[in-house]
Homo-oligomer: A and B are copies of this chain.
Amino acid sequence: MATNPPSTPLYRRLALQLQERIDAGAYPAGARLPSEPELSAEFGVNRLTVRQAVAELERAAVVEIRRGVGTFVRPPAVRISIAVDPRSQRVDLGSVHAALPDAAGGASGGHGEDGEFVVGAPPVTGSAEDAEAARQLGRTTAELSRVDSVIRHAGRPQAACSYWVPYRPLPAELVRPGHPGNLVPALARATGVELEYDWRAFGAVGADLADAELLGVPPGTALLVREGVSCTPDGTPALYVRRRIDGSRARFVLRFRES
């Protein structure tokens, strides 16, 4: 890179230069960046340094790396907007199910693979997630059942979901890997309770290795987390749910004005 390190590491200066080129339109949206050996030669740095720079841009969702093909400038994010009615209290509105059909997906899609699919019913152990669920439901982990699922749409996994209920055992057919449709109503039926919102929270977290695998994204990808407790009409906590959604593909919207 010619100049001396002004304390900023080489790979970051390289990333900034590439970012500048993209912002300036030298590499427009959809365009392929020069290959790693080409960048390596142009800037006079090792290929690994190039990779480190490009990896940062990928994590910032600036470029998309396609193995065996090249690295491409991402077009402006097109994200599914999932409506959350701030006033509605019943049922699990704002769910990914409700929103996905309206998705303005660029790629065609059209598979028989859409829907929610159980991926397993892991035992509730003392893991951090399980402990949190127990705390939220005011139970011990021994009283809880857990179901994990994936919601697929347009041929891609879009959301990873985990549900905890203070009820066990769950019916075998509900828990068998397959596609029982929307899990929240199914769980409500199975446990014999009516569900309404208690609270929901939005957070962000880097994908851990398991979620990365489930969602088909690199570990560390920014995920939007929507978690919360639903309860029976008398206020008894009856469901803790935690959904992880690829942040570059979806967002939740609250509208405050009529019309």
Interface residues of chain A, those whose CB is within 8 Å of chain B, are 12, 15-16, 19, 23, 56, 59-62, 76, 79, 81, 84, 86-87, 89, 127-128, 131-132, 196-209, 219-225, 231, 235, 245, 247-248, 250-257, 259
> How near does chain B come to A81, taking the closest CB pair, in angstroms?
7
A220 touches B56 (CB 8 A): yes
> How near does chain B come to A210, taking the closest CB pair, in angstroms?
9
Query: Which residues from B are CB-within-8-Å of A199?
Result: 253-257
Query: Which residues from B are CB-within-8-Å of A62?
Result: 208
Query: Which residues from B are CB-within-8-Å of A81?
Result: 201
B257 touches A197 (CB 8 A): yes
Query: Which residues from B are CB-within-8-Å of A128?
Result: 76
A61-B206, A202-B251, A206-B220 provided; 6 other pairs, C-beta below 8 A? A15-B219, A62-B208, A198-B257, A202-B224, A202-B252, A203-B251
A251 touching B201 in the complex, CB below 8 Å, given contacts A208-B62, A235-B257, A257-B231 = yes
Q: Tell me the interface secondary structure of chain A in the complex.
A: mixed
Once bound together, how far apart are the Cα atoms of A59 and B212, in whole Å?
A: 12
Contact of A248 among B86, B198, B205, B252 (CB under 8 A): B205
> How near does chain B come to A232, taking the closest CB pair, in angstroms?
11
A19 touches B209 (CB 8 A): yes
Query: Which residues from B are CB-within-8-Å of A224?
Result: 202-204, 224
Contact of A60 among B86, B132, B209, B248 (CB under 8 A): B209
* A48 and chain B: residue at smallest CB distance: B48
Once bound together, how far apart are the Cα atoms of A220 and B219, in whole Å?
A: 11
A204 touches B220 (CB 8 A): no
Contact of A205 among B56, B61, B86, B207 (CB under 8 A): B61
* A220 and chain B: residue at smallest CB distance: B59
A127 touching B201 in the complex, CB below 8 Å, given contacts A208-B60, A219-B60 = no
